[in-house]
Chain A
């Protein structure tokens, strides 16, 4: 996130809270699959491709789910 230039200097409490909040946000976005869109943009940028629109991308994802049902256990 932030460049750690000052080395292991003591973190302010507000920064600790912010870091934790960012961590939780990252986790929840990854878990829910929302972050997949960021990955797509990143991949397209890296490979020099034109990204899909968000709408197309999400449709594409739900079609993949349609073909491949996820199990939910007891």
Chain B
């Protein structure tokens, strides 16, 4: 089997006609009766599933209704809405050469088969976010979360990814930051640079917090995840010195070793060594920070690249297994469709009511600002044809949303008493089965201490107040896998799922610290050129230390917060991510205005308006709300006045913890406020551009001129008969040309 993207020799030259003239966009064909029947059927299945989800109450509802409602919605959105955006709105033009074709250099810019690039792009955008957010959002029931994951991705998330990718592709694959600087000016550019860096720090801190919470006091987890480091080092040495380039071979060895590491963790858990690996959250924090710094200054071949192979294959493997497992196990939803917490905002997992906090919490699975960083700069350097933006940008994000839907299912099929016992902070459960059982009873759920202990024993670790989302997801996955693939391995599957999450979080931390280091060096390099030299060790180390120190500090704040780090920091992370999406969508709207595409400006403007309303409301509440459960400053005030009056407020246990709450909440409040201000600065500088563009009809942009494309490749996931024919003709033409050159 060969790739069906063909590149004729001399393709980079502007002269020469495309072989067979097949680079012209295919004319729109009338739909056949069969295809019409199929799409009507998909629509009916989707409508039926949504109806069941919306109307069934008080009966057993199978989780498969969610799965099929989501998948049929994705299919329809991809077939119709993304095609509309591709043809009518962006007018993707396959006669235009992409940056990959024009600037091919064999490393950064490289024409890549669309299906391979889909895999690369998905591996880059998918991480722990779409897994953790939906798990936390499940406290409001399965329905609101599911609706937002599906509707959000169709109208906002996938649109953002596709449109940003398109604009970057038309601008020599420039990064989001570069485009903002060029289109919005210096003020917007500087604000965007600071916002991206700061938001990344919060992201890394929260991801690290998820790992710390999953591994604390869990010898099995610590041993299994700890062993991934020597395994990755071994793989690195193997690829560098023993058998260079044999990636598949070493990945197979690595995966086998990983499974062995999980099994070994189980042996240690039940041996005398267990207490050695029973680490407190504070110890794990120090280890994470040291690890993060060392990993980010080691050469990439030692740790980053080999672990990336492992995490990519684990990611794809687990998602496939989970989809198959759900269909085999057909679990029943245990969560209510909508819980009282959606309305009263008093849920223990995160505070605040459905609007705006559900949208903040789900984040990545529906709309993720971080994707704009991949969709600009990275992926556009490898796109073969303009039409591929649709399947890679829009289609890639649909897959991410599917992951989020699987995660919300996993959280909603476990016993809901257990769900709340796991996800409520230790401050309210006391960290014991008895305390958790009592606390959960006040929420309206019943689970006895014995039942809780039995659940904990089934995975050989204490589950009470194991917050962060990852353990809940791992428990849900282990339940589904045991049901689907045979019981008796519950604990193994639990740690398998924990490892799967920890692997790519560690990769994200390593890669994120490096990206942060480069941003810092680049910025300081403007004033002190030597510092910008990425191969100058002192600068590299200093910038790495600064970046690690920043997220390490926030991690420490989260770990030591008596109110619960996830409860306190996750909203900050969610809002940061959504604010980054607002920045990306603002750029999209600005470019629509500059191009004069007024008719379709609603395509990015509607998601932008919604996102701004959600994030600014959430930011406002987090800063100004006088409810101490929501407003950071109100919280600080409440604990400060109690401390000054000589009282100790639960969950704090002494004056020191009271001080911690006051200090942390103030810090969080300032960070929250500055994010919102940065975004407002960007939006205000953009509005000025919109007004100028509206007065003039359009404004000049930085789009590169049309260069004819020589590449012939199918547009979508599956090639049509005509496309295959065109590729064959182009290939034949290429061989002829090659022959005549001899």
A residues contacting B by CB (< 8 A) are 1, 19, 22-23, 26-34, 37, 43, 46, 54-55, 57-59, 61-62, 64-74
Contacts and interface: CB of A to CB of B under 8 A. Distances in A.
Given A71-B511, A71-B512, A73-B374, A26 B1 contact: yes
Contacts of B125: 73
B58 interface: no
B248 A32 contact: yes
B191 interface: no
Interface stretch (B48-56, B108-116, B467-475): B108-116
Given A26-B3, A70-B124, A73-B126, 10 more contacts: A26-B1, A27-B116, A43-B106, A46-B738, A59-B240, A62-B301, A64-B107, A70-B378, A72-B308, A73-B124
Contacts of B240: 58-59, 62
Contacts of B1: 1, 19, 22-23, 26
Interface residues of B, number: 57
B534 A74 contact: no
Q: Which 10 A-B pairs have the closest CB atoms?
A: A74-B129, A69-B514, A58-B244, A32-B247, A62-B301, A34-B247, A72-B511, A30-B116, A72-B508, A64-B107
A28 B126 CA distance: 18
Contacts of A66: 299-300
Nearest to A33: B247
A60 to B, nearest CB: 9
Contacts of A65: 300-301, 304-305
> Interface of chain A, helix or strand or loop or mixed?
helix
B305 A62 contact: yes
Residue among B299, B300, B370, B534 having the largest count of chain A Cβ atoms under 10 Å: B300
B139 interface: no
Contacts of B203: 74
Interface of B: 1-3, 9, 106-108, 113, 115-116, 119-120, 123-130, 203, 207, 239-240, 244-248, 251, 299-301, 304-305, 308-309, 312, 363-364, 368, 370-371, 373-374, 378, 504, 507-508, 511-512, 514-515, 518, 534, 577, 738
Contacts of B245: 34, 37, 54, 57-58
Nearest to A64: B107
24 contacts: A27-B115, A28-B248, A31-B120, A31-B312, A32-B309, A43-B106, A57-B244, A58-B244, A59-B240, A62-B305, A65-B300, A65-B301, A66-B300, A69-B514, A70-B124, A70-B378, A71-B374, A72-B504, A73-B127, A73-B368, A73-B371, A74-B127, A74-B368, A74-B370
A54 B116 contact: no
Nearest to A39: B106
B368 A31 contact: no
A46 B371 CA distance: 37
A40 to B, nearest CB: 8
Contacts of B119: 27, 31
B514 to A, nearest CB: 4
B207 to A, nearest CB: 7
A1 B2 contact: yes
Given A1-B1, A71-B374, A32 B507 contact: no
Contacts of B504: 72
Nearest to A55: B244
Contacts of A29: 247-248
A71 B368 CA distance: 14
Residue among A22, A62, A68, A73 having the largest count of chain B Cβ atoms under 10 Å: A73
Contacts of B304: 65
A67 B305 contact: no
Contact of A67 (B312, B512, B534): B534
B361 to A, nearest CB: 13
A54 B321 CA distance: 35
B207 A74 contact: yes
A61 B312 CA distance: 19
A1 to B, nearest CB: 6
Contact of B239 (A19, A28, A58, A68): A58
Contacts of B363: 74
